[in-house]
Structure 1
């Protein structure tokens, strides 16, 4: 074999060995990178949402928003007809005024009853004094009857006066007891006043509830009604998405979960504008999904379907990633996203 050919063979073998070693090294690096910085394109953007429903029932007289409109916290979303709530409030206030007048009149009657009871008590004291005087007079006269210093008729008169004074005392005591027992009070009316005050507070609250405001910055979603619609208490009118906090829910393979922990740094981007990357942090890692292959029914768990039915593939679990400084123009609920863990970032 010529020397040139032999050199070319040796060089080719060396190159092949180098390429093989490079491929092995690259494979090791890729596997290591996937183990330490897993990624997934099975993800979507998500924001917290609430069902906007009135606290009271009424007809919508003003709808201040449109579908997909951005609103600020405190902005008016819609107003119900306030007239029934205003009338309820005026009625409660009028009831309180009438009750106050009734309490005043009743208090005057109670004061008169107390004065009558005091007068009856004074009459008792007067009758008791008269009875004591009649008793003393009889006690002085009876010893003198035997000495004929007083006539028997005078003693009889003294005895009669004593019995009459005692009877008047008994009658005065009964009148005083009856007058005292007849004293009424305003406690029941005052307690009723507290009830009416509570009704006023409730009426004021219902009137306030007639105007529904945004509890946070957000976007109106799924608005399908207009002014004139009757809104029932607790029945949703539309959905409001909270645009102050955006998440990416990324479904990672169960084999990747060992390297994913709350607090891990991530990079996310939405496929609608893939040139814009955002930083995020893992907020939580899912601990259950609904099994696809005949497992037990586990209601309420997220459903993450497997795409290959004839191959045993790893189950995927949702990882919730909080996006830092999200762009509300880029993020939309349900938009496809990609999540890459970057623990060293």
Structure 2
């Protein structure tokens, strides 16, 4: 007959075995979590841009609808191009008129230059005549005392010398006036450069009136229609870049050891937990906004909410995972996800 002590001992064995199994399972789970970090604090992300017109005007064509997929080069919207076409036509007409004006002005300038050259030649002739008259007077004056020339001849020579000198002075003044009268086309050429700049701006504005998709993507937040007046630099809608999809997973700082860009990852979405997607770590955030007091960091840093405020818990840092082969029907910006990282796979690959 079994004693009470033996019965108590038999009842303890299952409890001890259960505790041992629980401890082993706990150790196994901890080891797996250490080897394969996992988090359900994750969401789908893709790059986005705001589609804003560079010019203001009335939307005359809007061939896309909200949530529509578009290809690179597809027409997104068209702003009425007539004001910009008119500005371009006017600038081109101004350029033609200015070129004609420059041509006519250049002819006048050429005539002024020819006149100035002619007057300079007249100055040289007057200078030569004045020099000859002065030389003649100087040669005749010594001959007067010897009786070879009369006083009347000397008077005539002096009169000729004064006359030719006066003609030289008059020719020099005319040369100065002719030189001053010579204008140029520099101001018109500078004005032509301004008109050319206006033409370039008009051509650019005309090009800006037609907005096309810069990449493959999907329309989001479209809340307007044809006929709406679009203001420059005011978004019309958002374009999601569907060429690359990411999952941003917030991992505890204690789990970041061994995680590097290129670390393999497995991801599944809460919208369809039966699908598994493979990816690699693209980058790891180097800063988050602290939830407690301290240094004031830039407001652009990501803010990751801590779930327990009365216990010192590990900070979480966003890890950006690029998905290798995303399903375009499942991946939506903001979709909840679960991410598992495999640091050992990367390390094994490196050893090979």
- Give me the TM-score of the superposition, normalised by structure 1: 0.90
Q: Show the counterpart of 2:234.
A: 235
The Cα offsets for residues 175-233 of structure 1, whole Å up to 9 and x where unpaired, read as 11221222111122212212211111111111100011111111000000011111111
CA distance in 1, matches of 2:207, 2:155: 85
Provide the residue aligned with 1:208 in structure 2: 207
Alignment match, 2:111: 112
The alpha carbon displacement at 1:133 in A equals 2.2
Question: The residue matched to 1:150 in structure 2 has which SS?
Answer: coil
The SS at the match of 1:317 is: strand
Given that 1:36 and 1:259 are in contact with CA atoms closer than 8 Å, whether structure 2 keeps it comes out as no
When the two chains are superposed, the root-mean-square deviation of aligned CA atoms in Å is 2.5
2:60 counterpart residue number? 61
Partner Cα separation in structure 2 for residue 254 and residue 138 of structure 1: 112
Greater displacement, 155-164 / 248-257: 248-257
Pair 1:101-2:64 in alignment: no
Q: Please list the CA deviations of residues 82-109 of structure 1 after superposition, one character each: whole Å capped at 9, or x if unmatched.
A: 0111111111111111111111111111
State the distance in 2 between where 1:194 and 1:68 align: 46
Structure 1: how far apart are the matches of 2:73 and 2:344? 41
Q: Which residue of 2 aligns with 1:167?
A: 166
Q: Distance in 2 between matches of 1:295 and 1:134?
A: 101
The corresponding residue for 2:246 is 247
Q: By how many angstroms is 1:322 displaced?
A: 1.3
| Higher deviation after alignment, 74-83 or 24-33 | 24-33
Q: What pairs up with 1:136-285 in 2 under 5 angstroms? A: 136-285=135-284
Q: Distance in 1 between matches of 2:125 and 2:313?
A: 109
Count residues in correspondence. Answer: 341
Q: d(CA) in 2 for partners of 1:43 and 1:192?
A: 60
Worse-superposed segment, 274-283 or 328-337: 274-283
1:87 aligns to what? 86
Provide, for residues 230-270 of structure 1, a one-character-per-residue CA deviation record: whole Å limited to 9, x for no partner: 11110000011100111111122333233433321110111
| Equivalent in the alignment of 2:37 | 38
Q: Is the 8 A contact 1:35 1:259 kept in 2?
A: no
Q: Which residue of 2 aligns with 1:336?
A: 336
Query: What is the rounded CA distance, in whole Å, between the counterparts of 1:227 and 1:30 in structure 2?
Result: 58
The 10-residue stretch of structure 1 (26-35 or 290-299) with the greater mean CA deviation from structure 2: 290-299
Q: Structure 1: 5+ residue runs without aligned partners? A: none
For the residue of structure 2 that corresponds to 1:240, the secondary structure is strand
**Secondary structure, aligned partner of 1:274:** strand
